[in-house]
Amino acid sequence: MAKIKKLFFSLFLLFFLVTPVKAASFSMSASTKNVAPNGTFTIKVGGDCIGRVDLKVTNGTLSTSSVWVEQGYTSVSVKANASGVVTVVATPVQGFSDADANLYNPGTRSVSVNVTSPSSSSSSGTTNPPSSTTKKPNQTVKKPEKSGDNTLKSLSISEGKLSPSFNKNHSEYTLDLSSNISEITIHADTTDAKAKVEGIGKVKVKPGNNEIKLIVTAENGTKKTYTIKAYVEEVPNVYLKYKNEEVGIIRNFKDVTIPENFEKEEYTIGDNTITIFVKGQIQIVYGMNQKNEKNFYVFNKEENKLTNILFPISWNNKIFYILDKDPAREKVTKEMIELDSQTFDCYTFNENQNYCLFYTVNEEGKVIEYLYEKEENSIQLFPEFLTICDVATEKNSPFFFILVGILLVEVVFGIGWFINRKRKLQDEKAK
């Protein structure tokens, strides 16, 4: 038995001794040992590791100051200065790990590249002038390699704000401009001084959508295009009356959420065309008032006028189209409530402040009254007689006593009729 145990232990130990363990690694290398003045070369950083690496250079320029490595190598372009030695240092930042997510701190790595002229030669002895007897036949001098860097180092505009923020590796941007802007100035610098960029300077823009292209050409002729999609807010060409103000009908619906299931239609007023949205018998338009407030408005096609502001909200999987309609009743006080992140007017009963009245419109275009119950945070159709009873009960109003009196009279009358009917039946049986 002891021999079996020893044998088992030996096999177990041997298994762990022969099982390969993958060790973490981190290294850095350059694509060349020598580079021409103002030339470029690449370095590779990485290994069997994961994390961010910060880069620093002396006597040169990096295409980026940090890279992310993940079980592999990442290449970075380096531009040398006119002479000397270019040295690049790579330093892993805090949180660097091996492939198994264990913290790994390998320390810094560095590479150096000599800046040399193609015609220069180095030796330990005296440099002699070239001899015709030592020149190899058909020998050609290698020209410095031209840069292929066609990226922008910076991009800015005189009006508005680019979205997203500029990143030389991101090539498409959007820009929103107000309606009074007709010209913008674009500033841009290339990463490589020998690259050229077209499309910068003063650029005319018109209302609506504009597409501006910036073309960067590298020293070696390769091109990269940056695109700015600029939208200039369009001035309304149709104004409609709403109460005592003019509302401009908006023509562009960028970033506007159209109420669910409304169909888009074109509608002509005079010489101009506007966009309306239709669902059943409801027609709405999107407009901006003189305070630059934007809302949906109920549109009356027969009279070409706006009747109400409309607020679509969703509540318990049902959509309500709320109107800014004043109530045709007394003893209510207007207040603001918020439902579905929308704030609108609601009218609280003075006698029972738990209930608040608001107006909606259905697909047939009919105005419907709803009650919002504050304590229960619920919405219900407005049953007027029940609400009045609720109000009366709360304050013991005369109307409450009148209703109770009517009910009592009906009960007494019913009991009397029942007793009288029973007596007549008994008399008929006796006969």
Q: How far apart are CA 21 and CA 26, in angstroms?
A: 16
Which one, of 290, 194, 297, 179, lies nearest residue 232 by Cα? 179
Helices 384-395, 398-430: crossing angle, 10 deg rounding: 110
Domain-located, residue 369: no
Domain boundary among the residues 232, 261, 277 is at 232
Domain-located, residue 18: no
pLDDT of residue 406: 75
Q: What is the CA radius of gyration of the chain?
A: 41
**Together in a domain, 223 and 292:** no
- 74 touches 49 (CB < 8 A): no
- Cα–Cα distance list, 27 to 30, 56, 75 (Å): 11, 15, 12
Domain-located, residue 303: yes
pLDDT of residue 211: 95
- CB environment 283-318: b (16+ within 10 A), e (fewer): bbbbbbbeeeeebbbbbeeeeeebbbbbbbbeeeee
pLDDT of residue 400: 56
The CA-based dihedral angle spanning residues 391, 393, 398, 402, taken in that order and rounded to the nearest 10 degrees = 110
**Together in a domain, 218 and 260:** no
Sign of CA dihedral 385, 386, 387, 390: positive
Domain-located, residue 350: no
The range of the structural domain enclosing residue 260 comes to 239-321
**Together in a domain, 111 and 156:** no
User: Structurally, how many domains does the chain consist of?
Assistant: 3
Domain-located, residue 42: yes
pLDDT of residue 124: 43
List the chain pLDDT tens, one digit each, 431 residues.
555 555 555 555 544 444 444 578 889 999 999 999 999 999 999 998 989 999 999 999 999 999 998 888 999 999 999 888 999 999 999 888 888 888 888 889 999 999 997 655 444 444 455 554 555 556 666 778 899 999 999 999 999 999 999 999 999 999 999 888 999 999 999 999 999 999 999 999 998 889 999 999 999 999 999 999 999 988 888 999 998 899 999 888 877 888 888 999 999 998 989 999 999 989 999 998 988 888 999 999 888 889 999 988 888 888 889 998 888 788 899 998 888 888 888 999 988 889 999 999 888 888 899 999 988 888 988 876 444 444 444 444 555 566 667 777 777 777 877 787 777 777 776 66
User: In this structure, what CATH number is given to the domain that contains residue 73?
Assistant: 2.60.40.10
**Together in a domain, 219 and 258:** no
Which one, of 48, 90, 55, 54, lies nearest residue 72 by Cα? 48
- 75 touches 102 (CB < 8 A): no
Domain boundary among the residues 115, 139, 166 is at 115
Domain-located, residue 105: yes
Domain boundary among the residues 55, 87, 115 is at 115
Q: How far apart are CA 23 and CA 99, in angstroms?
A: 9
**Together in a domain, 203 and 163:** yes
